[in-house]
Amino acid sequence: MPIKKVNLSEKLSLFADHWSPKIVGELNGQMVKLAKLKGEFVMHHHEQEDELFLVISGVLYIEMEDQTLELHPGEFVIIPKGTPHRPDAPEEVSVMLFEPATTLNTGDADSDLKVEKLQKI
C-alpha cells in the first residue's frame, strides 16, 4: 500500500462530535489523533502515559492543580503522566493529540465522556 500524506483540515472536516478522538496515524506504538473539543472535560490523569496537545484552531485552556495554561493555534503542551488536568474549551477547539495507543481519553476518571473504541479516519 502506498504511503499517503494526511491533511489535517481534510480529516477534521470528516467529523463533528466533541471529546471523541479519531486516529489519523500510528508510529512507534504511538497514535496521532485528532479531536474537536467544546465545553468542560473532566479532571483526570493518565497513570502511565504522557500526552501531547497541539492546538490547530480555537483556544484551549488546560487547568492543572497549580496553573491554567492557555493554548492558541500553533502551540502545544506535554502533560506528563500522573498529572491531573482538565481541558476546557469555551468555544470549539481542534487539537492534534499524540499519545500511546492504549491511552483512554478520560484517564483514571469515571465519566460518561469515556470513549473506549476509537475510530480510524
Interface with a copy of itself (CB under 8 A): 2-9, 25-28, 30, 32, 49-52, 56, 64, 66-67, 69-72, 74-80, 83, 98-100
Judged by DSSP in three states, 12 sits in helix
What secondary structure letter does DSSP report for 20? -
What secondary structure letter does DSSP report for 106? T
CB of 101 vs a copy of itself, minimal distance in Å? 11
Q: Is the Cβ of residue 70 or residue 91 nearer to a copy of itself in the bound state?
A: 70
Q: Is the Cβ of residue 6 or residue 119 nearer to a copy of itself in the bound state?
A: 6
CB of 17 vs a copy of itself, minimal distance in Å? 21
Cα–Cα distance, 71 to 59 (Å, whole number): 6
Q: How many Å is the maximal CA-CA distance in the chain?
A: 47
